[in-house]
Every structure is written in C-alpha cells, then in structure tokens.
Amino acid sequence: MTTYSTRPVAGDAVAITPDGRLNMIAAPRLRDQLHELVGAGTTRIVVDLSGTDFIDSSGLGALVSGLKVARQAGGDLRIAAPTEQVVTVLELTNLNRVLRVHESADAAYGAE
C-alpha cells in the first residue's frame, strides 16, 4: 500500500505529496492518510499536487473527505501547486471554490 510523503510547512501545518495518478486505486490511501493525520492532531494540511498528473472523482472525493475532517477538527485543508489537468478538473467541478489553491505548499499557510 502506498504511503505518501509528508513534511512540515509553516508552523504546525503538514504537506502531503501524492505523485502520479490520483484515481480510484490511489485515492483511498490518500483519504486514509489524511484522516490519520487529523486523528494524530494535525489539522492544518496542504496537499501538494505538483506531481499529480491525473485526478478523477475518487481523487476529488479523497480531497473533500480530508477537508471535511480537518474542518471538523478546527483546521483546514488546502491545495498547492496543482498541475494543469488538476486545475481544469477543479474548475469544471467548481471545487476550486471550496478547496483553496496556492502556488506552493509553503505559501498555503505562510501568510497567516
């Protein structure tokens, strides 16, 4: 099972970086890892999508699920550096209005 790399950013925030395709095969692991982060007390999360070249509805569902649990715990989930394909999908689904997009993982919480 894939585990995505994580790193600290901007204080107590953590960036998680899925690579490749975020589809029905990879999305459940991302969702689980996001839930594990929140369960361990990390409520400010950045999903760095710079290495994600494809996302489908399963991937979007994992992001929304992560956003929901982070917000329920008093935090937030933000998106960083999405590729052109990911930006297109976010715009077509209007999720770019819900998932805050930033240029980089470091910038996602850097101005706070």
Q: What is the pLDDT of residues 54-76, one digit of tens each?
A: 999 999 999 999 999 999 999 99
What band does 112 get if pLDDT is binned at 50, 70 and 90? low
Q: Which CATH number covers residue 45? A: 3.30.750.24
Number of domains in the chain: 1
Which helix (H) or strand (E) segment holds residue 67: the answer is helix 57-72
Whether the model clears a pTM of 0.75, i.e. scores above it, the answer is yes
Strand partners, 22: 55
Instruction: Write out the chain in H/E/C secondary structure.
Output: CCCCEEEEECCCEEEEECCEEECCCCHHHHHHHHHHHHHCCCCEEEEECCCEEEECHHHHHHHHHHHHHHHHCCCEEEEECCCHHHHHHHHHCCHHHCCEEECCHHHHCCCC
Parent domain of 95: 5-108
Amino acid occupying residue 109: Y
* pLDDT cut 70: percent of the chain above it: 96
